[in-house]
Structure 1
Amino acid sequence: MSLQLALSAALSGLRATQQQAALVSHNITNATTAGFVRKDLAVSTAISGGRGQGVRVDGVLRSVDEFLIRDARFEQSRYTAQETRASALADYATALGQPQDERSVSTALAKLQQSFSQLRNQADNEAARTAVVDSAESLVRRLHDTAAAAITVQNDAKARLQSSVDEVNRSLVRIGELNSAIATQKAKGAETGDLMDERDRLLDQVSSEIGIRIHTRESGEVVVMTRNGQTLLDRELPAGAQPLQLVGGDLVAGGKIISDNPDQDIQSGRIMGYVQTAHQDMPRALAQLDELAAGIVQQFQAAEADPTQPGLFTDAGAAYGTTEGLASRIAVNGSVRSNPWMMQSGVQAGAPLASGDTTQIDRFLNAFSATRSFAAADLPSSATLGDYATGMVSTQQGYRTTAESEMKTRKISADALQSARLNRDGVNVDDEMQKLLLIEQSYGASAQVLQAAGRMLDTLLQIRN
């Protein structure tokens, strides 16, 4: 090997170790940066004319497991969907209470029945009559408050859904910009690792909001689609673009409504949780409450002399009209507060019944014990008012516990995959420090070669002189 070749090989080694040291330092600096992927320097032997010429730097390697990333994103997306839904159901369940809680509708209904039973034993007692009115008004307040809680949760989900859609659209616009930058840099042969890290972080964020599929082109650009195949991003998007839109309360992607069947068209992500809450869970809860309110109004209306006229409970002051929204409109007949004797004689009575007459009270009590038809999902089609109310509260609490259990299961799976992804693609500082020691040794060896070659050149020059 000539001295010139030795010098060239040593210099190439110094340049390579210099780049390696810079890259390892970059890895260590970003060890705690979310989404940062470890970079390695690709080197090989430089050969020219069949002879080794030192070390050649082939580029920066960013090695990731795309299948692991895909699975980690999907599980995280499923977890965020379930977490969002479980949180909303928990908020509603807190307002609803357990069947035995003082604040629950079922307890308020049971107390009204108890008040009528006590009144039957002391029909002429003014305080007992007033107690019935108080219990009736308490039941109405509980229905109103519970319905208001469901509406609040529903409206909150809709507001958060809009925020989530806006966040996805902003991220997709930026991903499109990174697509162009990566394709340009790749065409020039420049390093694109940090740009791809940023793009992957944004893709992680998008997948937490809505389930997505990714396709990578040869140019390095990614195509982003919903899990059912609706395209959200293909190359670059103009500023302010809205691949996802809320139109009249419906979520639209690629011109298709995807909120009608979220299990199939969205599948995962916070957006799915918000859609389920706003379009399925709270409407179902309100429908169940409305059915109970309709049963109460109709049962007590039927207990009066004229079942077509308003009874103890009314539809905003009138006789029963429609079930939808009734839990928010139900009211105690306005005449009973000033005429508590109606609790013994009936709301439609023109005058009090004879002292001790419990005929009408018995009819009121029959309203509680009579079996009637209900048309609410997941609840018995035939039951007494009390059984329906208890079943409704228990069922709603069951939705919550099931969602929370599913959330915990999803979290375990998501955390396991995220840890596997981090262990494979992330930065282990101890490993990087070991690399620095090896780089230091390599640098020192190359430097010694230069020193030796320098001494040899000095000797040659002395001989020539």
Structure 2
Amino acid sequence: MSISGAFSNALSGLTATSRAAELVSSNVANAMTEGYGTRSLALSAQTPGSGGVRIDGVLRQMDDVLIGDRRLADAATGYHGAQNTFLQGVEQAIGTPDQPASLSGRLAQFEATLIEAAARPDSQTRQSAVLNAAQGLTTHLKATSDHIQAARLDADQAIAGMVATLNAGLEDVRALNVKIQAAQARGTDPSGLMDLRQQKIDALSPIVPLKQLPRDNGSVALVTTGGAMLLDGKPATLGFSTVNMIVPEMTRAGGALSGLTLNGQPLEAGGDRSPLAGGALSGLFAVRDELAVVAQERLDGFARNLVERFQDPTLDATRAPGDPGLFTDAGAAFAPADEVALSSRLMLNAAVDPAQGGSLWRLRDGLGAAAQGNVGDASLLNGLIDGLGAIRTPVSGGFTSTAHSTAGLASELLSSISSERLQTEARLGFASSQQQTLRQMEFAQGVDTDAQMQKLMQIEQAYAANARVMSTADEMIQTLLAI
């Protein structure tokens, strides 16, 4: 080998080791950066006969299969998390029996005040306690209904935010695809752009379950597991319209609430067959259009059961036919055809409420009584107690066909919500565990700092060897020139 050949070989080696040292430095600095792919040099021998080493490019090492599985776990966590949050909120709004302010606690208090009033039917203090307990019961049902509708509104607004995030994120990925293609065409390293693209896609994965498909020149396409193409060259555009208020009567089926569109075409967003099923977006649609609607129906069914117990014509002979009972539908008698949102309209009969011009003694003497009767007569109060504890089969609300007292029906209402919450919590726990495991595996396959430091030592040795060759070649040339 000639002196100039040795010099050229050593120079190419120095260039390669210098670039390799830069990559090791970048790898160590980004060891904890999510979405960062470990870099390494792709080297090959220069053309035969010339010697030396050639840098073919930079390799970005990522496990695409592992990343894909982790993204699906992100979506599953988002889906079950949205539903679990809602169910937890409704369960807390209803309250558990050990809480005095819960539905069961208020029912128990109402029954207790009725029993105390029946023991002293002449006591206005005890009659006032019955009134307050009954008002607490109606207030609790209304507050629970308001909570459910507020959760629907929160879900609706969160959907709008996620749709905006998706549209912006898809456009960002498209722009990065273009930049990566341009970088490869120029022969420059696009690894940094690929890291950024992975971070952008990772941010979208909890919203919808995504699969990444390779395309020419380093670009990628994005499709949901349900088959909706979100990006392939051009990004898709999702459409959604939010509202400022939601009441129980508003449903997507009735046209009062918006669904999703994909490039202007309607797209089913809820249910297992939805192209977007499995992410936080579909989880929020499930909350707004399914879980919350069912919870409201159950609450209204309970309210109906309560109203009809005290609207029974045989309970109070002083009431005229068609007049409301102790619990009313916004002051009027309840009509079965108008059950939706009954829990939010529940009110006490004005005849017993001094604040509405009524009199407390009508709790004892009858809602339609024109004057006070025998102050020692507790028959109506005892009838109210019997009505509260009577075993009746609920006719609406999706309850089981088992007959219950009012307290028993309240327990079934809470049990149905708690059961759904526990099932969803178990699914969320599984999805979260899977997500954490896959993320740990992803980190484990990331930058190994120990291996990088060993590689750096090898690079230093190679650099020193090439530098020594150049120094020796220079000495040889100087010696020849001195002859």
Same fold by TM-score greater than 0.5: yes
Matches within 5 A, 1:213-362: 213-237=211-235, 242-246=237-241, 248-254=257-263, 255-261=265-271, 264-302=274-312, 303-305=315-317, 306=320, 308-321=322-335, 322-338=338-354, 339-362=359-382
**What CA RMSD, in Å, does the superposition of the two structures yield over aligned residues?**
2.1
CA distance in 1, matches of 2:65, 2:50: 38
For 1:242, the aligned partner's letter is T
Question: Which residue pairs with 1:25 in the alignment?
Answer: 25
Q: Compared with structure 1, are the counterparts of its residues 190 and 381 closer, same or farther at alpha carbon in structure 2 (3 Å cutoff)?
A: farther
Contact 1:374 1:382 in 2 (8 A): no
C-alpha distance 386-307 of structure 1, shift in aligned 2 (>3 A): farther
**Structure 1 unaligned residues grouped into runs of 5+:** none
Structure 1 range deviating more: 66-75 or 359-368: 359-368
- In structure 1, what is the Cα distance between the partners aligned to 2:441 and 2:57? 26
Q: Which moved more, 1:127-136 or 1:241-250?
A: 241-250
- For 2:161 and 2:110, locate their aligned partners in 1 and report how far apart those are by CA, in whole Å: 43
DSSP-derived class of the 1:39 partner:
strand
The match for 2:408 is 387
Match of 1:116 in 2: 114
Aligned mate of 2:395, from 357, 360, 374: 374
- Shift in Å, 1:217: 1.3
Distance 1:84 1:356 in 2: 55
Give the conservation status (yes or no) of the 8 Å contact 1:375–1:381: no
The amino acid of 2:238's aligned partner reads: P
TM-score by length of structure 1 reads 0.92
Kept after mapping to 2: 8 A contact 1:98/1:394: no
CA distance in 1, matches of 2:126, 2:78: 52
CA positional deviation for 1:354 = 3.0
- Matched letter for residue 361 of structure 1: L
The number of residue pairs the alignment matches comes to: 457
Q: Structure 2 stretches of 5 or more lacking a match?
A: 243-256
Question: C-alpha offsets along residues 100-147 of structure 1, whole Å, 9 cap, x if unaligned?
Answer: 311211221222222222222222322222221111111111111111
How do 1:35-50 residues align onto structure 2 when only pairs under 5 Å count? Answer: 35-48=35-48
Tell me the distance in 2 between the aligned counterparts of 1:301 and 1:397.
30
Q: Deviations over 1:181-239 (max 9, x none)?
A: 222323344322111111111111111122222222123222222221112222134xx
Query: Partner letter of residue 40 of structure 2?
Result: D
Q: Compute the displacement of 1:263 (Å).
A: 6.5
Quote how far apart the aligned CAs of 1:70 are.
0.6
Q: Deviations over 1:133-172 (max 9, x none)?
A: 1111111111111112222222222222211221111111
SS, match of residue 51 in structure 2: strand
Q: Percent identity, aligned pairs only?
A: 29
2:391/2:403 contact within 8 Å kept:
no
Mapped pair 1:407 → 2:417: no
Residues in 1 aligned to 2:321 and 2:223: alpha-carbon distance in whole angstroms: 57
Kept after mapping to 1: 8 A contact 2:42/2:56:
yes
- Please list, as runs of the form range in 1=range in 2, the aligned pairs for 1:164-183 lying within 5 A after superposition: 164-183=162-181
Dislocated runs of 4+, deviation >6 Å? none
Distance verdict in 2 for CA 1:452–1:223, change over 3 Å: same
Q: CA 1:275–1:170 in structure 2 vs 1: closer, same or farther (change >3 Å)?
A: same
Aligned-partner residue type, residue 12 of structure 1: S
Provide the C-alpha distance between the structure 1 equivalents of 2:395 and 2:210, rounded to a whole number of angstroms: 40
Write the distance in 2 (CA, Å) between the matches of 1:263 and 1:376: 26
Deviates more, 1:243-252 or 1:321-330: 243-252
Question: Given that residues 298 and 399 in structure 2 are in contact (C-alpha distance below 8 angstroms), is that contact kept between their aligned partners in structure 1?
Answer: no
Q: Secondary structure at the match of 1:56?
A: strand
Quote the Cα distance in structure 2 between the aligned partners of 1:236 and 1:26.
32
1:396 is aligned to 417
DSSP-derived class of the 2:462 partner: helix
- State the alpha-carbon separation in 2 of the partners of residues 359 and 36 from structure 1: 78
Deviations 1:261-286 (A, max 9, x none): 25743332322332222222222221
Shift of 1:389: 0.8
1:4-153 alignment to 2 at 5 Å? 4-48=4-48, 51=49, 53-153=51-151
- Equivalence for 1:419: 440
> Given residue 345 of structure 2, which amino acid in structure 1 is its aligned partner?
R
Pairwise CA distance, 1:379? 4.7
Q: For the residues of structure 1 that align with 2:239 and 2:15, how far apart are their CA atoms?
A: 49
Counterparts of 1:314 and 1:75 in 2: how far apart (Å)?
49
The within-5 A match list for 1:154-169 is: 154-169=152-167
User: Partner letter of residue 445 of structure 1?
Assistant: A
Q: Is the 8 A contact 1:262 1:276 kept in 2?
A: no
Distance 1:270 1:206, change over 3 A: same
Report the CA distance between 1:373 and its aligned residue. 2.2
Q: Which amino acid aligns with 1:442?
A: A
- Which of 437, 453, 473 is residue 453 of structure 1 equivalent to? 473
Amino acid at match of 2:145: A
Structure 1 window deviating more from structure 2 (399-408 vs 19-28): it is 399-408
CA separation of 1:370 and 1:75: change in aligned 2, threshold 3 A:
same
Shift of 1:412: 1.4
Any idea what the Cα deviations from partners look like across 1:57-83, whole Å, max 9, x if unmatched? 111001211111110111122112222
1:289-344 deviation per Cα after TM superposition (whole angstroms, max 9, x unaligned)? 11111111121111333452111111001110311101110000112023111112
Q: Tell me: CA distance 1:352–1:227, structure 2 relative to 1, closer, same or farther (3 Å).
A: farther
Question: Would the alpha carbon gap of residues 307 and 190 (structure 1) be closer, same or farther in structure 2, given more than 3 Å must change?
Answer: farther
Give the match's secondary structure for 2:309. helix
On the 8 A contact 2:364/2:381 being kept in 1, the answer is yes
- 2:97 and 2:120 map into 1 onto residues whose CA distance is 29
> Any conservation in 1 of the 2:269–2:277 contact (CA below 8 Å)?
no
